[in-house]
Amino acid sequence: MRILIVVTLAVVMGACATTDPAIYSHSLQNCLSHLSTFKKEVRRQQVSDVQVVSHQAFPYLAFDRFSQSQLAGLVTVKDRSQWLDYTAQLAARQRQAEFNNLVVNHFELPVLDHCASKLTEEAKHNDQVWSTIVQQEITIADSYEPWLRVFGLYPISSQLAQSAIDKEKKRILLGFHAPEQSKLAVQYRLAQRPTETNLLARTTNTQTPRANTTINQTQIEAWFSRALSDSTLDWPMLSDSQISQLHVYYAPLIAVEKSSDRAFRPEDNIPGTVRYLPLEQKPAVDTSQPAIYLHHSYTRLYGKTYLQLNYSLWFTSRTPTSLLDPYAGQFDGVLLRLTLDHRGRPLLLDSIHHCGCYHMVFNLSENFTFANAPPDIETPLLFERIVASYDAMPPSWSVTLSHGEHMIKQLDWHEQDPATGAQTQALTPIDYDQLRQLPTNKQNTISLFDHRGLLPSSERLESTYLWPFGIPSAGATRQLGHHAIAFIGIRHFDQPRLFEQIVRPVNAP
C-alpha cells in the first residue's frame, strides 16, 4: 500500500515530465513519471552525479562512453538486452548516490529501483521504446573546452609545449626502475578478508567486496568462457561476486617509498580512506585507515570487449618540492587499471594519476606491440613488459611508488609472491562508488566531486599556464568519466577504443 501511495503521488508531481509515456505499457506509465520526478528533484537540489550521463527521456538508464560506442553494433534482441542491462546498472549506481545525496528526500529507493527494473525489461522487448533510445543519439561530451584552445592559440602553444612534455617524460623514464629505497618503503596489500561496512546513509545493502580467494586460473577461464558464450558481442559481463574475487586474485603488492628528508610529510605517502569532515565542511584523506578503491570497466580492442580491474589509491596531498611547486597541492592519487583477455589473464596495464596526468601503458602480452604514434596527439609513456608465464600459478605483481609525487618507478611480475615472509599493511577494499556519497553528520551524504566532475579543493598552480590546451583546472583531481589524458590532441582515459591508438597485433602491418 505504501508503494502504491508513493507511485500515485509521483504521477501528480511528474505530470510535466518530458518523457512521452505513450510508447510504454499503460501499467508502467506511473513508474516512468515517478522516476522522472525523482530526477527533477535531484536537479533541483543540485546533487546530480556526473560520473555517467542521464537523459530526461530515459530516467531508468545512464550512459558512458563505452555504452555509446556499442550502439552501432547492436543487432539482435540479445545484444539489446545485454546493453540495457549494462546501462541500467550504471543508472542504478548513479540513482543510489543521488538518492543518498538528497537533502530533503521523500522518495524510497526500493520503489525507484523496482520501477527502473520494470522499465528496463520493457525496453528489451518494446521495439518502439528501443527505437526511441537509438534515435536520441546520446553523446558524451568530452572534457576539453574548445574556447580555451581558441584564446590560447592552441596550434602555436601545442608546438611550443612539445619540448617541455618530452623533457618531463625523460625525467619520469630516468626515475623508472631506479633502485628502490627498500629500507624506507612500506608495503601494502589488499586485505584478504574484507570486513563488511555500512558507510552509506539511507542504504542497508552496501558493503565492501567480500571475496573468496581460493579461485584459480581454471575457474576464471570457465567464468569467462560462460560469459562469452552468453554474449553475441564478445562482451564478458561477469557477476559482481566474480569481479570481487578477481579484484582480490589480481591485487598487486604496492610499495610506497618514504623519504628520509624531514621536509617531506610522512602522512603524504600513506594511501588512506577519503572522508567528509563535517566540522570543517570539507573532504580529507584519513591515513589511519589505509585503503584501496575498486571498480571495473570495459574497453574495446580490435573487435573484442575486455574486462578491466581498477585499483585506486588516495593520498592526502602531493608534497611540494619548492616554495611555488606548480604540481603540489591537496589530494593526490594513482589509478592502476589491469585489462584481462578472454581467458581472464593479464593483457595490458595502464595507469594515471587522479588528475588524468602521467598516462603509462605497459604491454603484458606477446600478441601485441606498440603502434606508431599518431602525429597529432600526445603519446603516453610506453613500456614493453611481457609476462613470461601465468598459466600454472596466480600472477603476482608489484608496483613501487615514489614518495611525494607518487610516480610509478617500478613494476615487476613474479613467479612467487614477493611479499612472502615480508611485513605488509592491509588495504581496506572500498567500492569507488562510495566517493559519490560520503557520509556526513546529517541524514544525507555528499559527493566528493562537483557538477563538473572535479574535486574543488585539489586545484593546482599549473592550471594557470596549461589552460591553452583546453583542460579546465588542469592538475585537479577528477571523477571517473572526466579524465582528459593528453594536452596535445584529445584523449580520455575511458575512451572505448583507447588502446587501438596505442597497440597493434604483432602480425599486423
Q: Is 80 exceeded by the pLDDT of residue 199?
A: no
State how far the Cα of 296 lies from the Cα of 307, in Å rounded to an integer.
7
Q: pLDDT band for 191, please (50, 70, 90 cuts).
A: confident
State how far the Cα of 279 lies from the Cα of 232, in Å rounded to an integer.
52
Average pLDDT score over residue span 98-104: 97
Task: Tell me what pLDDT residue 95 has.
Answer: 98
Average pLDDT score over residue span 3-10: 41
Tell me which DSSP letter residue 179 carries. P
Q: pLDDT band for 27, please (50, 70, 90 cuts).
A: confident
Prediction pTM value = 0.91
State how far the Cα of 485 lies from the Cα of 491, in Å rounded to an integer.
6
Task: Tell me what pLDDT residue 177 has.
Answer: 78
Average pLDDT score over residue span 149-154: 95
The identity of residue 372, as a single letter, is N
Task: Tell me what pLDDT residue 179 has.
Answer: 65
- 418-442 residue pLDDT tens: 666 568 999 999 999 999 999 998 8
Handedness of CA 238, 68, 293, 503 (dihedral sign): positive
Q: pLDDT band for 180, please (50, 70, 90 cuts).
A: low
- 384-414 residue pLDDT tens: 876 655 554 566 899 999 999 999 999 988 7
Q: Measuring CA to CA, which residue among 284, 380, 294, 262 is closest to residue 331?
A: 284
Share of the chain above pLDDT 90, in %: 74
Average pLDDT score over residue span 298-323: 95
Residue 21 vs residue 41, higher pLDDT: 41
* Longest Cα–Cα distance in the chain: 70
Q: Is 60 exceeded by the pLDDT of residue 145?
A: yes
Pairing of strands 291-301, 282-286: unpaired
DSSP 426-490: EEEEEEGGGGGSEE-SSSSEE-SS-TTSB-GGG--TTHHHHGGGS-TTTTS-B-TT--B--SSS-
Cell 591515513 belongs to residue: 287
Report the Cα 248 to chain-centroid distance in Å.
17
The identity of residue 422, as a single letter, is A
Task: Tell me what pLDDT residue 215 has.
Answer: 87
Share of the chain above pLDDT 70, in %: 86
Q: Is 90 exceeded by the pLDDT of residue 198?
A: no
Average pLDDT score over residue span 230-242: 94
State how far the Cα of 185 lies from the Cα of 259, in Å rounded to an integer.
9
- 244-288 residue pLDDT tens: 999 999 999 999 998 767 667 888 999 999 999 998 999 999 999
State how far the Cα of 323 lies from the Cα of 311, in Å rounded to an integer.
32
DSSP 210-231: ---TT--HHHHHHHHHHHHHT-
b (16+ CB within 10 A) / e for 103-119: eebebbbebbbebbebb
- 456-480 residue pLDDT tens: 999 999 999 999 999 999 999 999 9
- 67-90 residue pLDDT tens: 999 998 899 999 999 999 999 999
Task: Tell me what pLDDT residue 200 has.
Answer: 40
Residues 409 and 178: beta-carbon distance below 8 Å: yes
- 337-386 residue pLDDT tens: 999 999 999 999 999 999 999 999 999 998 999 998 888 899 999 998 76
Grid coordinates standing for 70? Answer: 556499442
Q: pLDDT band for 1, please (50, 70, 90 cuts).
A: very low
State how far the Cα of 237 lies from the Cα of 227, in Å rounded to an integer.
6
Q: What is the mean pLDDT of the chain?
A: 88
Per-residue three-class SS string for 119-133 = HHHHHHHCHHHHHHH
Task: Tell me what pLDDT residue 64 has.
Answer: 98
Task: Tell me what pLDDT residue 391 has.
Answer: 56
Q: pLDDT band for 416, please (50, 70, 90 cuts).
A: low
Q: Is 80 exceeded by the pLDDT of residue 217?
A: yes
